[in-house]
């Protein structure tokens, strides 16, 4: 997978950066600098092309995911991250994913499918990735979810369902709501930075 790696402080978690639809491996680098500038960073570009826009998995239409492709791409991403951990010599068990929109959805999918993929996740504007699945036990996994009360793409009940699913799987979940829509707001990032410092420094 196309990616960038930046070596940082090995005592901190490595940040796995996952962009939104149409983004690339450079999109979230400023976000990582805001959350923890000293952390190592693995920033990945999605392998799926949707009308010229990079995504991490296919969808059938707006808000409707291709679940077969989602499962395949989630495993593909996990395998890539573990290969990268060997190549770049970072600890795959000390990984915090940071995702926005489509990137946040595949972070959620990693948690829905694997209990050991991530130590934590910062999910900005995420949806429930898949339904009808028994989640693995996620105790010890720390999750921050940033959402907009007026998000036209993700209704509040959708985010609340995601939160409930993760909590039911024993993950520790922090919610932060803005008055905004689907855009990423500065106050979300500031809150995520404080959350990261509380849990991982």
Positions marked catalytic:
101, 151, 182
C-alpha distance from residue 6 to each of 13, 30, 89, 155 (Å): 13, 13, 11, 35
Contact 81, 87 (CB under 8 A): no
Sequence-ordered list of residues with C-beta below 8 angstroms from that of 37, at least 6 positions apart, any chain: none
Contact 161, 139 (CB under 8 A): no
82 dihedral zone (left: phi>0; alpha: psi -120 to 50; beta): alpha
Contact 104, 143 (CB under 8 A): no
Structural Rg of the chain based on CA atoms? 15
Cα–Cα distance measured from residue 38 to residue 112, given in angstroms and rounded to the nearest whole number = 29
The DSSP element (H or E) to which 199 belongs, if any, is helix 186-200
């Amino acid at each position: 997978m196309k990616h960038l790696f930046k070596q940082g402080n090995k005592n901190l978690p490595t940040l796995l950066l996952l962009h939104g639809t149409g983004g690339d491996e450079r999109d979230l680098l400023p976000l990582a600098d805001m959350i923890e500038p000293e952390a190592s960073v693995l920033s990945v570009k999605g392998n799926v092309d949707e009308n010229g826009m990079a995504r991490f998995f296919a969808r059938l239409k707006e808000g409707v995911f291709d679940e077969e492709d989602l499962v395949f791409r989630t495993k593909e991403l996990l395998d890539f991250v573990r290969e990268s951990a060997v190549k770049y010599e970072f600890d795959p068990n000390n990984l915090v994913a940071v995702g926005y929109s489509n990137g946040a959805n595949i972070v959620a999918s990693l948690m829905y499918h694997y209990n050991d993929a991530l130590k934590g996740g910062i999910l900005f504007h995420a949806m429930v990735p898949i339904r009808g699945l028994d989640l693995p036990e996620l105790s010890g996994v720390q999750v921050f979810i940033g959402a907009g009360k007026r998000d036209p793409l993700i209704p509040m009940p959708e985010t609340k369902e995601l939160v409930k699913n993760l909590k039911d799987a024993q993950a520790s979940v922090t919610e932060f709501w803005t008055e905004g829509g689907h855009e990423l707001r500065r106050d979300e990032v500031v809150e995520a930075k404080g959350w990261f410092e509380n849990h991982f420094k």
